[in-house]
Amino acid sequence: MKLLAIDTALGGCSVALLDGDKILSHIFEAMDRGHAERLAPMVQDAMRHAGAEFPVLTHLAVTTGPGTFTGQRVGLAFMRGLRLALKLPLTGVTTLEVIALAAMDEIGQPKAAVIHDARREEAYLLLQDGGQVVLQPCVMTFAGAVERIRTFGPCALAGTGAAAAKDMLGADFTLSTIRQPDALWVARLAHALPVPVEAPGPLYLRAPDAKLPGGKALV
């Protein structure tokens, strides 16, 4: 099964093409903005590097969030378009699950806590124990997230808030180097999930920061 996966939801833009467990191509670039301009050329580069054409694909995968309002929409719109054009299933996975899997693999820990800076002194939080997500992605105060991790117990820490959380939690918790989701792990997670019938939608944990004229929030 040749699976094309992408991520644009947070602080990176990445593409991965896998054939089962074999990595055919993988590109990751850290970036806070410019995902819309970079994504299509990156996908083309990944396909070219693998010597593959779009008709050979059998499955697509994308992150649904949480993330930046614009970043989430860029990736989802692109992959929903490919889904329609190629008539392929599209799997959606959360950014925090992807980060957790990468952290557990790196550290060799069976448990992971992903704490990602959501600004306004808040954090996105996910807790995972093996293959089970014990706390689905949520948003709370940063201090509250750290205390929830403390209750969860020793684990691998990942996400942009991981270093600060580690300072507060102490030696029982292991700091990974994983800060952003990566399409490579999007693909690996999608491989393990049932093939969906419907297209995924965005996971928004709070309203966007952008405002319409007059101060009204975007819906």
Alpha-helical (H) ranges within the chain are 35-50, 69-86, 95-107, 142-152, 162-169, 183-191
Annotate 167-176 with b (16+ C-beta within 10 A) or e (fewer).
Answer: eebeeebbbb
Both 20 and 65 in a single domain? yes
The model's confidence at residue 211, banded by pLDDT at 50, 70 and 90, is: very low
Average pLDDT value for residue range 107-122: 96
160 and 102 within one domain: yes
For range 24-41, the mean pLDDT: 97
Neighbouring C-beta atoms of residue 9, cutoff 10 Å: 32
3-24, pLDDT tens digit by residue?
A: 999 999 999 999 999 999 999 9
pLDDT mean over 89-93: 98
Q: pLDDT-derived band of residue 206, with 50, 70 and 90 as boundaries?
A: confident
Q: Same structural domain for residues 13 and 87?
A: yes
Are 45 and 116 part of one and the same domain? no
> What average pLDDT does the segment 166-180 reach?
98
90 and 48 in a common domain: yes
Q: What is the pLDDT of residues 55-85, one digit of tens each?
A: 999 999 999 999 999 999 999 999 999 999 9
User: CATH number for the domain including 6?
Assistant: 3.30.420.40
Q: Does residue 209 lie in a domain region?
A: no
Position with higher pLDDT, 163 vs 219:
163
Total domains in the chain come to: 2
pLDDT for 214: 54
pLDDT at residue 92, as a whole number: 98
Residues 110 and 156 in one domain: yes
Strand partners, 18: 3, 23
Burial per residue of 187-202, b for 16 or more beta-carbon CB atoms within 10 angstroms, e otherwise: bbbbbeeeeeeebbeb
In a domain, 138, yes or no: yes
Name the pTM for this structure: 0.93
* Residues 114-123, mean pLDDT to the nearest whole number: 95
Same domain as 186, residue 85: yes
My answer on whether 32 and 137 are in the same domain is no
In a domain, 219, yes or no: no
**Within a 10 A sphere around the Cβ of 134, how many other Cβ atoms?**
12
Do 83 and 107 lie in one domain? The reply is: no
Q: Same structural domain for residues 87 and 64?
A: yes
**What is the structure's pLDDT at 213?**
52
Are residue 113 and residue 169 in the same domain, yes or no? Answer: yes
23 beta partners: 18
Residue 11 sits in the same domain as residue 42: yes
Range of the domain at 103: 96-175
Helix (H) or strand (E) holding 17: strand 12-19
Q: On the CB side of 157, how many CA atoms lie within 13 Å of its CA?
A: 26
How many residues can be counted in the chain?
Answer: 219
Q: Average per-residue pLDDT in the chain? A: 94
